[in-house]
Amino acid sequence: MAGAISHHALASTQSYRWSAQSSRFEKRTGNVRWVHQGTRCSVGRKLGFVCTSGSQQPSVVEPFQLPSDANSDHTPKKSSESALILIRHGESLWNEKNLFTGCVDVPLTPKGVEEAIEAGKRICNIPIDMIYTSSLIRAQMTAMLAMMQHRRKKIPIIMHNESEQAHRWSQIYSEETKKQSIPVITAWQLNERMYGELQGLNKQETADRFGNEQVHEWRRSYDIPPPNGESLEMCAERAVAYFKEQIVPQLVAGKNVMVAAHGNSLRSIIMHLDKLTSQEVISLELSTGIPMLYIFKEGKFIRRGSPVGPSEASVYAYTRTLAKYRQKLDSMVS
């Protein structure tokens, strides 16, 4: 039953608890709100995650092959279980100015840099084998800054496959060095939705001009595109297709993957993972710089919220492998 759920999460250092009495998550912090409806939790504004039913309570699952040494490479396992971390980039300069950004390539603000570093601290105990980012610098900065916090200290390295020459010129000729690195794949398919003629316009001024309702429809509806831009549905056609074709096979192979992308490209992926309807996705909002963890197990994605901090126990108890990996890291330090 839904009342059995107790999840920790999300957008701040506080934890949130499911209340059986009120049938909803009761705490609200900053711009995060959770609303529960029925056994499948839906989505309030600034969603941290969609909660799960009682059958998906945090659990320690059967072990599979553990990394024998956390200092060694995190060898992908023949397992049906792996971790997926989704993270929206930290605040960008145009988020700060409240401008429609879409595919315009703007960097993070100092606050966005802080958010990325903070996000990295939260996931610093989770082994990551591969990173996918969009082709936009705000997502790439976020991924890199977050990885700088990882306790394992592997180096994220961007794979340059844009031409045969770029690929050849970036070869690494040391297996040992390769083992100490994490491949970063950049893909335009994970870019923010193209906002068309709204790109560069102020969101408030646009709402004043066209009305709140119209602008909300452009920003959050599933199938209504902004003028000459992409609807969420159009964005999903490329982002979800890429996710299924390129990222899922890595998870199936037992690799742990981080995806650093954007509000709307991630909304479309979360809509797919959580099987949200086109109505439900309207109220799905993602905060900047908040990592969300899914466990991929036996072909299913199980939402596990966000590590509140590096020392939080619950996320690492979701699978025995994550717990063991963290123990190894702890023992290396002590």
Q: Per CB under 6 A, which region of 93-101, 112-120, 310-318, 324-332 contacts ligand 2PG?
A: 93-101
193 is in an annotated binding site: yes
Q: How far, CA to CA in Å, does 161 sit from each of 117, 133, 187?
A: 27, 14, 10
48 is in an annotated binding site: no
Number of helical H runs and strand E runs in the chain: 11, 9
Instruction: State the Cα angle at 19 between 24 and 14, rounded to 5°.
Output: 90
93 is in an annotated binding site: yes
95 forms part of the interface with ligand 2PG (CB under 6 A): yes
219 forms part of the interface with ligand 2PG (CB under 6 A): yes
Could you give phi then psi for residue 228, rounded to 5 degrees? Answer: 55, 25
Q: In what order do the strands lie in the sheet with 130-133?
A: 155-158, 181-186, 130-133, 257-261, 81-88, 291-297, 300-303
Closer of 113 and 317 to ligand 2PG (Cβ):
113
Q: Per CB under 6 A, which region of 41-49, 98-106, 113-121, 128-136 contacts ligand 2PG?
A: 98-106
- Give yes or no: 89 in active site: yes
Query: 25, 100, 294, 316: which one contacts ligand 2PG (CB under 6 A)?
Result: 100
Single out the catalytic residue among 192, 230, 233, 285: 192
Q: Per CB under 6 A, which region of 16-24, 44-52, 95-103, 139-147 contacts ligand 2PG?
A: 95-103
58 forms part of the interface with ligand 2PG (CB under 6 A): no
192 forms part of the interface with ligand 2PG (CB under 6 A): yes
263 forms part of the interface with ligand 2PG (CB under 6 A): yes
Only one residue has tokens 């199938």, namely: 223
Query: In whole angstroms, what separates CA 190 from the centre of its chain?
Result: 12
CB-based contacts of 78, cutoff 8 Å, min separation 6: 64, 65, 254
> What is the three-class DSSP state of 300?
strand
Tell me the C-alpha distance between 274 and 68, whole Å. 33
Closer of 88 and 326 to ligand 2PG (Cβ):
88
49 forms part of the interface with ligand 2PG (CB under 6 A): no
Tell me the C-alpha distance between 28 and 12, whole Å. 10
Query: Considering the complex, what minimum distance in angstroms separates the CB of residue 1 from ligand 2PG?
Result: 34
48 forms part of the interface with ligand 2PG (CB under 6 A): no
Query: 52, 264, 268, 306: which one contacts ligand 2PG (CB under 6 A)?
Result: 264
44 is in an annotated binding site: no
Find, among 12, 193, 13, 230, the residue nearest to 103 by Cα.
193
Do the Cβ atoms of 131 and 147 come closer than 8 Å? Answer: yes
Q: Please give the structure tokens belonging to residue 164.
A: 């045969």
Closer of 120 and 263 to ligand 2PG (Cβ):
263
Query: Considering the complex, what minimum distance in angstroms separates the CB of residue 201 from ligand 2PG?
Result: 9
Nearest residue to ligand 2PG, by Cβ distance, number only: 101
219 is in an annotated binding site: yes
Tell me the C-alpha distance between 113 and 107, whole Å. 9
Tell me the C-alpha distance between 304 and 51, whole Å. 8
Of the CA atoms within 13 Å of residue 325, those in its CB half-sphere come to 30
222 forms part of the interface with ligand 2PG (CB under 6 A): no
Single out the catalytic residue among 8, 36, 89, 150: 89
Query: Considering the complex, what minimum distance in angstroms separates the CB of residue 148 from ligand 2PG?
Result: 24
> Where is the binding site for substrate, in residues?
88-95, 101-102, 138, 192-195, 203, 219-220, 263-264
Binding site residues, ligand 2PG, CB under 6 A: 95, 100-102, 192, 195, 219, 263-264
Q: Please identify every residue annotated as catalytic.
A: 89, 192
